[in-house]
A and B are shown apart, each in its own frame.
Chain A
């Protein structure tokens, strides 16, 4: 394996310049709301198809890695997640910016992204052929339970009122159940609109609930940053970046744990980075001693989301490289490029062109090192964007994010959906309901339904099928433990303090 790694590294040095180019472009594209690495890789297909297969794959892997990091920039600074995977970054990243700690939050996001990605890429490199077997163990039941980890977050981000949290979460889940049903393909609650037949579009929902509702709220004050913290934030040199790096290094355990969660979710085809970051956030919150700080600017929240969505990138390539199954949109574009070059896909790749398979992972490894060098020094300059007056920011955010909501499907109708969710998000905030819980429902609901119904069909409608597989049962136990154990531990700690 090491010979192969060194040979791949040697080959990559021949087109090293593609990696910073890919990372830079990835960071930029990730920061544009509504755009993902998949969109851009499709636009750049003529460019990548014209390259050698190894160079093309290295470029695409670098762009993919960079895009997850880029998604955190608008999430932290403006509450606008550049990608769905960065939605959980908003929970704590944006409150940190409001407290004048934007630079610190960005440094944490960049460092956690790069370290988390680097760590899981090294695992991938060492265990690539063995990890492929994991894919076979994850069926509908296991996927359903994994999604429930994310759904469980609804109960935990309720703020002050459990009832309000549940109402928001269930409302979100119901909104997510709009559209064709996954078994009989019958449209449900679509108001006769063909645009909703495919379900509630995710990008306009994210854009509306976070970006547009925040733009409506931010015009009520002059700056994003609280007035009392503004003068300190303006005077800040590199201290925020240093603080962010120190915090990330001190919380290395959290970075590793979150990136591992993302990695495992990444290996499952179709699970996606959004689920990975939500599951990781739920776990971080469950086992934190400072649960109350989550959602109010806890660095652990930013770490959990960012380390997970970057830890996931290398994991998501495993089904593609080992089995020829694209785990997501970006992997599907990579598959097209590999096929166009006549590269054998699946297990034969390791027999015929092992250097190419290892080359992709090595390129990713180099990309994460480049990300640390490129990203962290940017935190200071990028944080200054939060000093723009809201009177300019709000219209600019609305104008840009509406385009972002249009991009995914190309329907102007999606702009109306974004506006609907923007108004909904504003009302949710004003009346003490959690927009995050609604978003969780909208994003995870359709996936939960899909896997739930598939599992039921396998069991001929008998719900006992949900508890029929060893790995599934193990995940059920973990789910229950992750819900119950933190409460028990907290009670134990309180009792100890009283004594």
Chain B
């Protein structure tokens, strides 16, 4: 559940801000539609905008002095959430390369790069883990559950044989 938060920081406006941006875009896309088509989402959008304004008021009235809790200053963002940022980038790269080099190879590269980044151990250990995780995924999803993931030429042949 959410942490108990009595004070608000500027970082706490990120989520309501995102909500408000979506609400404005939503209202833009439903403009001109029949009233019934606008009713539900339009109503929610207006509530989201009102809640964003309420959050702004809360930040102004109850602003934290030390800004602990929410995102601190923008310039310290990378330092505080370094692991999160790198993991996000690696995951994005993983998704990008799946259709290019196929799932098995992409998975080996992804697991290897994340475990190296997380300092799991020596290269042999990293390689072992990467191969095992990929093998489990390959057997479970592609062989057993017949998931139609992009494959490279070698694993495509292997799948056909199995």
Contacts and interface: CB of A to CB of B under 8 A. Distances in A.
B95 A415 contact: yes
Interface string A149-174: 00000000111110111111011011
Nearest to A42: B146
Interface residues on A, range: 35 or more
Contacts of B123: none
Contacts of B143: none
Contacts of B16: 167, 171
A39 B145 contact: yes
Contacts of A166: 51
B147 to A, nearest CB: 6
A290 interface: no
A186 interface: yes
Interface string B66-104: 000111000000000101100110011011001100010
Contact of A394 (B4, B58, B87, B98): B87
B140 A215 contact: no
A164 B33 contact: no
Interface residues of B, number: 72
B39 to A, nearest CB: 8
A161 B5 contact: yes
Among A186, A416, A456: residue with most chain B CB under 10 A = A186
B117 to A, nearest CB: 9
Contact of B36 (A178, A183, A398): A183
A50 interface: no
B55 A174 contact: no
A171 B22 contact: yes
A399 B145 contact: no
Given A170-B51, A189-B25, A394 B95 contact: no
A160 B40 contact: no
A167 B40 contact: no
Interface stretch (A127-135, A228-236, A326-334, A426-434): A426-434
B118 A391 contact: yes
B111 A399 contact: yes
Given A391-B119, A392-B133, A433-B2, 9 more contacts: A40-B145, A157-B1, A167-B19, A183-B36, A190-B29, A220-B83, A399-B133, A403-B141, A427-B15
9 contacts: A159-B1, A160-B2, A167-B55, A170-B48, A184-B34, A403-B141, A416-B95, A430-B70, A437-B2
Interface of B: 1-6, 11-12, 14-16, 18-19, 22-23, 25-26, 29-30, 33-37, 39-41, 44-45, 47-48, 51-52, 54-55, 58, 69-71, 81, 83-84, 87-88, 91-92, 94-95, 98-99, 103, 107, 110-111, 114-115, 118-120, 129, 133-134, 136-137, 140-141, 145-150
Shortest 3 CB-CB distances between A and B: which pairs?
Answer: A159-B2, A160-B4, A295-B1
